[in-house]
Amino acid sequence: MTYSSSDRIVSALGEWIAVAPAGAQLPSTRQLVARFEASPVTVQKALRTLVGQGVIESRPGIGTFVRGIRAVRPNDYGWQTAALGSPQHRVPASSAALRTTPNDVIALHSGYPDRELLPERLVRAAFARAARSEAAVSRSPAAGLPELQSWFAAELGAITPTGLTAPAVRDVVILPGSQSGLGTLFRALVGAGRPLLIESPSYWGAMLAAAQVGVQLVPIPSGPRGPNPDDLDRAFAQTGARAFYAQPNFANPTGGQWSAELGDAVLGIVREHGAFLIEDDWAHDFGITSDSVPVAARDDSGHVVYIRSLTKSVSPSVRVAGVIARGPARDRILADTQAQEMYVSSALQAVAVDVVTQPAWRTHLRSLRQQLTSRRDLLVDALREHAPTARLDAVPCGGLNLWLRLPDDTNLLQLARECEARGVIIAAGDDWFPAEPTGRYLRLNYSGPNPSAFSEAARIIGQALTNRQ
């Protein structure tokens, strides 16, 4: 565990605060700098931490003081039950993948890559340039900055086969991240109370967005090689659905990638049924032994609506995504976006386009591929050695996760608790099923911090699985 200078100050001041009377004034920042031989920035960071913990309070122009303990009295919020009524749609609880954890645990649960896998230098420089540009004080066009629209269109257009029409700049709508974008797509293309076909297992955030919109999910079994076209065709015929949400490349959670033949088969089915394929290319930048090849590149008839986020590969602070849609569908998506968000921050869009158009961006992606390869293989080997009762049906060609099948009698809740008690945070697979889970699974993220601890994490998981038998 890293013990920084600010942590040291927080610890020392915490001991003093614990015995100090309420209202006692802390030494000034200058005095603390001298006492701890730290910079003013470090001292201020420590004070902000203590303020966040609720043990001190700052009075501008006066000083910082120990907070008094306020008596807690019970509040009766029962009146809100009648005022709110029953919820129209049951929204799933937040996934374990969103949990924040202390630095002294081995975190395999997160949905985001570790900071060291991000192009931090490029991002910081882009934010500095954006702060000095017109983007910092201007409003973006409703569909997005033309430069960023052009980049998304050109990226997909570069792999569009000869004979098909590449997407135009006008076909692109910029959204504030893919999670918001999925809600927009489900409202605009499906609508409340209507069926949406979805791979099972699938991204929990898509299920959350569907629940918020009121869409009825229809699960289509899917695995490392994608869904069975016959199952998809039958579901379209039986339900009358007009959209299928899928992740053809490096699916979350399975890591699966469709073959070109499956992509063509699915494209033929959605065309036959007059439907949409909502293609989520969330892991476009995370190829390892394969590249992401979007189905959207092989469709110019408007049947594929393509969404591609930059948040995970650029920075969690740059919540920007692009949707490529053609025809009236694009207009409905734009109208919904305007109704929900009005526009996306010009500054964030400027940062995004700055980063991805730098020559160093391609260099970063090559380095990222090497790092993901190393991390994936390290965790795979550790699990095979220390957790032999867990089965990995396929080593993913890209993405951030391993989808691990456990013995059918595994109690996932107990397993997660035992692993956490021993310092390993895992994500139970139930969150990724739109209906009842078809087995016991773990989704383990190999892009998280401290890959040197993967072997220890696998050993703890293996021992916990043995203890459950």
Residue 104: which CATH number? 3.90.1150.10
**Averaged over 1-17, what is the pLDDT?**
80
Residues 353 and 368 in one domain: no
Residue type, 178: S
Look at residue 413 and tell me whether its pLDDT is greater than 70: yes
Which residue range(s) make up the domain with 452? 96-115+361-467
Task: Classify residue 284: in a domain, yes or no.
Answer: yes
Q: Percent of the chain having pLDDT more than 90?
A: 53
Residues 219 and 143 in one domain: yes
pLDDT at residue 102 in the model: 56
Task: Classify residue 87: in a domain, yes or no.
Answer: no
Look at residue 295 and tell me whether its pLDDT is greater than 60: yes
Predicted TM-score (pTM) of the model is 0.80
pLDDT at residue 96 in the model: 61
* Last residue of one domain, picked from the residues 339, 358, 377: 358
Q: How far apart are CA 426 and CA 235, in angstroms?
A: 33
Strand order in the sheet with 172-175: 172-175, 321-324, 304-309, 276-280, 243-246, 195-200, 216-223, 226-227
Residues 102 and 148 in one domain: no
* Last residue of one domain, picked from the residues 290, 323, 358: 358
Residues 303 and 386 in one domain: no
Question: For residues 147, 152, 158 and 163, what is the CA-based torsion angle, rounded to 10 degrees?
Answer: -100
Tens digit of pLDDT for each residue in 141-195?
888 899 999 999 999 999 999 989 899 999 999 999 888 889 999 999 999 999 9
pLDDT at residue 410 in the model: 87
DSSP 115: G
Which tokens hold the place of 277?
A: 């394929």
pLDDT at residue 1 in the model: 46
pLDDT at residue 179 in the model: 86
**Averaged over 292-319, what is the pLDDT?**
92
Lowest mean pLDDT among 90-99, 193-202, 329-338, 456-465: 90-99
Residues 234 and 315 in one domain: yes
Residues 386 and 297 in one domain: no
Which tokens hold the place of 449?
A: 């911090």
Contact present, 201 and 253 (Cβ < 8 Å):
yes
Structure-model confidence comparison of residues 398 and 55, the more confident one: 398
Tens digit of pLDDT for each residue in 30-76?
899 999 888 888 898 888 888 888 888 888 878 888 887 655 566 77
Residues 160 and 308 in one domain: yes
Look at residue 364 and tell me whether its pLDDT is greater than 80: yes
Look at residue 113 and tell me whether its pLDDT is greater than 90: no
Residues 35 and 166 in one domain: no
